[in-house]
């Protein structure tokens, strides 16, 4: 795919993912036009004055809850990357209707606007919390995944195609535990919810490059899942503050001990490639199954979980993940 000829719109363009995506796309892929779609004028201003101010970059104030505004923003757009979401688990639990309006109804609006505008490709960002969800955030992202996958059927004769990328915890996203541990280190005690807890990890740049890679390859109907390493939260804590004590406060509502990126039911329709898995829609035989001969089917009962993942971060790799945050922390003093 030639990005140089494409007009690209990013919902949630001022968020952690959006900014990194825009940075990499501008530096390496040089799209014809890149549109930042977000609802916060201050964040757009701060982004512009921090260096994101080039002739082919546009800033568009709007909310994914507003379908008319999305239709206007998508006029002439070729590619949409949908990263706008309410993602803080406690905030979603306390404000359930707000999470539903943004994550589910907002996703529906993105789909409708993309269909009406004749957008070529729409890639939505999902999360491991959408698999066997135990909190509202995960449930809204599961619903959003279903919307994007099944909307390929609604496209009918239109060119528009929809797919999803699903991955684990992003180092560097807002709410990441690493800056919290670095702050707590000064007090000599780090709080963790359970010593057994494990998580999938990848960097913001890895997430962005995976989304770009999958957008280039998508045919419509797939959920792309990268092969990424796991780490134990207690190992992360010990690397950041080896001398600090650990205060185990107990698992919180809506939190899992281990995350799942592919469950055993999905495994039946999933194809494994060298660097990723492709989950094909099990309920639709007329789209999304073009990957069948490009990889290897998963064995019956397979589950891709952070606990049983064969790939684990070493102590040295954890230090590499943490290093940028250490530098930022030092710069703040």
Q: What is the pLDDT along the chain (333 residues), one digit of tens a residue?
A: 999 999 999 999 999 999 999 999 999 999 999 999 999 999 999 999 999 999 999 999 999 999 999 999 999 999 999 999 999 998 999 999 999 999 999 999 999 999 999 999 999 999 999 999 999 999 999 999 999 999 998 876 778 999 999 999 998 676 678 888 999 998 999 999 999 999 999 999 999 999 999 999 999 999 999 999 999 999 999 999 999 999 999 988 888 999 999 999 999 999 999 999 999 998 777 788 889 889 999 999 999 999 999 999 999 999 998 988 887 765 554
d(CA 265, CA 216): 27
Give the CA diameter of the chain.
Answer: 62
Structural domains in the chain (count) = 1
Cite the active site residues.
129
CATH value at residue 183: 3.40.50.720
- The boundaries of the domain holding residue 195 are 3-331
Q: From CA 238, how far away is CA 236, in angstroms rounded?
A: 6
Interior angle at CA 189, CA 319 and CA 331, nearest 5? 50
Relative to beta strand 121-127, strand 79-82 is parallel
Cβ-based neighbours of 298, under 8 Å, separated by 6 or more: 262, 267, 268, 270, 271, 272, 277
Does an H or E element contain 265, and which? helix 264-267
């Amino acid at each position: 795919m030639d990005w140089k000829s494409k007009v690209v719109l990013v919902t949630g363009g001022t968020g952690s993912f959006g900014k990194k995506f825009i940075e990499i796309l501008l530096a390496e892929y040089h799209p014809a036009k890149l549109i930042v779609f977000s609802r916060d004028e201050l964040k757009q201003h701060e982004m512009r004055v921090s260096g994101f101010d080039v002739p082919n970059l546009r800033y568009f104030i709007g909310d994914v809850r507003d379908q008319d505004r999305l239709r206007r923003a998508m006029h002439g757009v070729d590619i949409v990357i949908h990263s706008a979401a309410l993602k803080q688990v406690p905030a979603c639990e306390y404000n359930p209707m707000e999470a539903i309006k943004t994550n589910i109804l907002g996703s529906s609006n993105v789909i409708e606007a993309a269909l009406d505008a004749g957008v070529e490709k729409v890639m939505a960002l999902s999360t491991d919390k959408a698999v066997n969800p135990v909190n509202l955030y995960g449930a809204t992202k599961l619903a959003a995944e279903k919307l994007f996958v099944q909307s390929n059927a609604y496209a009918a004769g239109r060119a528009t195609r929809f797919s999803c990328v699903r991955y684990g915890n992003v180092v560097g996203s807002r709410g990441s535990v690493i800056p919290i541990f670095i702050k707590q280190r000064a007090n000599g005690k780090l709080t963790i919810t359970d010593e057994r807890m494990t998580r999938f990890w990848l960097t913001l740049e890895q997430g962005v490059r995976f989304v770009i890679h999958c957008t280039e390859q998508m045919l419509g109907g797939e959920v792309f899942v990268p092969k990424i390493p796991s780490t134990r939260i207690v190992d992360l804590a010990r690397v950041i503050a080896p001398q600090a004590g650990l205060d185990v406060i107990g698992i919180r509502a809506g939190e899992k001990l281990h995350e799942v990126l592919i469950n055993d039911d999905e495994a039946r329709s999933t194809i494994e490639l060298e660097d990723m898995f492709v989950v094909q829609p099990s309920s639709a035989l007329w789209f999304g199954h073009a990957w069948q001969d490009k990889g290897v089917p998963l064995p019956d009962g397979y589950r891709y979980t952070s606990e049983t993942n064969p790939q684990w971060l070493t102590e040295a790799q954890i230090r590499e993940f943490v290093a940028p945050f250490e530098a930022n922390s030092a710069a703040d003093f």
